[in-house]
Amino acid sequence: MTVQLVGAGPGEADLLTVRAARAIAAAEVVVFDRLVDRSVLELISPLADRYDVGKTPGQSSSQESTNELLIELGRSGRRVVRLKGGDPFVFGRGGEEALALTSAGVAFEIIPGLSSSLSGPLAAGIPVTHRGISRGVTIVTGHLIDGECNSFVHLANPELTLVVLMGVAHRAEIARQLILGGLTPDTPVAVIERAYTSSQRTVRTSLQRLGVTEIANPAIIVIGAVAAMSLNDITTELATAAW
């Protein structure tokens, strides 16, 4: 039997792919993370076994133990779904789990999901690229590495959009480094909390005020000119210049 590594998308169940929804409904075992929306979990059969392996900020849950669980379940002969919010292969450690299964000789299938890094901003009407405003997008994590914030100085480019996942805790340092790298303090910033859920909230601010702006996890931070846009608002003024 194959372990299915399934992306749950950014929020509610109607954003799942058809293949993902079918896999969840047919699963005999589901291993899921904390960011998977409740409406997605409701698709799981009441007869299926559930394993909650979600990590919360500040908590050191072992990825190795999750890998071992997937290997054990994959060898059980049952239909196993590994369910992660967004897409498992965009800062979701899906690659690590796939490699662990491969090393153990356990077959797997990848079922991608909508990544929150691209679809999350659209919940607030923000396109991560837009002709005349942003010619590209960079997706990064705001997690700590070796006790220091990732270097954002070299990511300061006013022609690009910067999307930061898991950056709430270190937003002040991220903003400081981007300003040091050359972005202006009034660079627009939008924070989308709990995108595509019933408790979604969008906060608009600037780079210089990001560190003192009250926001909460889980959230996506969008930095750049497009963060001032809202395609959901008919009063939005769009730039007409072309690259």
* Residues assigned a catalytic role: 33, 55, 166
**Three-state secondary-structure class, residue 43:** coil
CA distance 135 to 208: 23
CA angle 30, 34, 39 (to 5 degrees): 70
* Secondary structure E strands in 78-237: 80-84, 108-111, 136-141, 144-145, 148-149, 160-165, 188-193, 201-206, 219-223
**First CA to last CA distance, the chain:** 51
**Three-state secondary-structure class, residue 9:** strand
CA distance 182 to 177: 9
Element (H, E) at 193: strand 188-193
Query: Could you count the other beta carbons within 10 Å of the beta carbon of residue 36?
Result: 24
CA distance 94 to 112: 10
Element (H, E) at 73: helix 63-74
Q: Which of 221, 93, 121 is nearest to 167 (CA)?
A: 221
Phi-psi region of 76 (alpha: psi -120 to 50; beta: other; left: phi over 0): alpha
Query: Could you count the other beta carbons within 10 Å of the beta carbon of residue 25?
Result: 12
